[in-house]
Amino acid sequence: AQSVSQHNHHVILSEAASLELGCNYSYGGTVNLFWYVQYPGQHLQLLLKYFSGDPLVKGIKGFEAEFIKSKFSFNLRKPSVQWSDTAEYFCAVRGSQGNLIFGKGTKLSVKP
C-alpha cells in the first residue's frame, strides 16, 4: 500500500537553528510530492511541491525540499527557523488514484 512516513513526531528548536524534517514515501510510480503546513488554529497551506525537473524545490517562507529518488525521500529544510515557523508540517504523495496520501505530521516548536 502507498504510504508516507514522517519519522519525527515533535521537533523542538531554538530560533536561528537549522531545520530538517524527514519524509519517506512508498510508491514506485511517477511521484508528485508535497509539503503542507498547518499553523495553530489555521488551515492546511501548501508550502511547496515537486512534480519533475530540479529535485531541489524552493517554496514559500524560505523552505526548500530535496527529492532523492534512490532514497524515496523528500526532506524539508530551512537554514534558520523563526518563532513564527511553529506549526505542524505534513508530507504528502499523490497516489495511483490521484488522491493525496499524507504522513502523520511533524509538530515543530520554535523557542524564541
Partner 1 sequence: ETGVTQTPRHLVMGMTNKKSLKCEQHLGHNAMYWYKQSAKKPLELMFVYNFKEQTENNSVPSRFSPECPNSSHLFLHLHTLQPEDSALYLCASSQDSNYGYTFGSGTRLTVV
The answer to whether 72 contacts partner 1 (rule: CB under 8 A) is: no
The answer to whether 94 contacts partner 1 (rule: CB under 8 A) is: yes
Among 27, 74, 89, 90, binds partner 1 (CB under 8 A): 90
For residue 31, which of 78, 88, 100 has the smallest C-alpha distance?
100
For residue 73, which of 21, 1, 19 has the smallest C-alpha distance?
21
The separation between the first and the last C-alpha atoms of the chain, rounded to the nearest angstrom, is 40
The answer to whether 100 contacts partner 1 (rule: CB under 8 A) is: yes
Binding site for partner 1 (CB under 8 A): 4, 9, 32, 34, 36, 42-46, 49, 51, 90, 94, 97-105
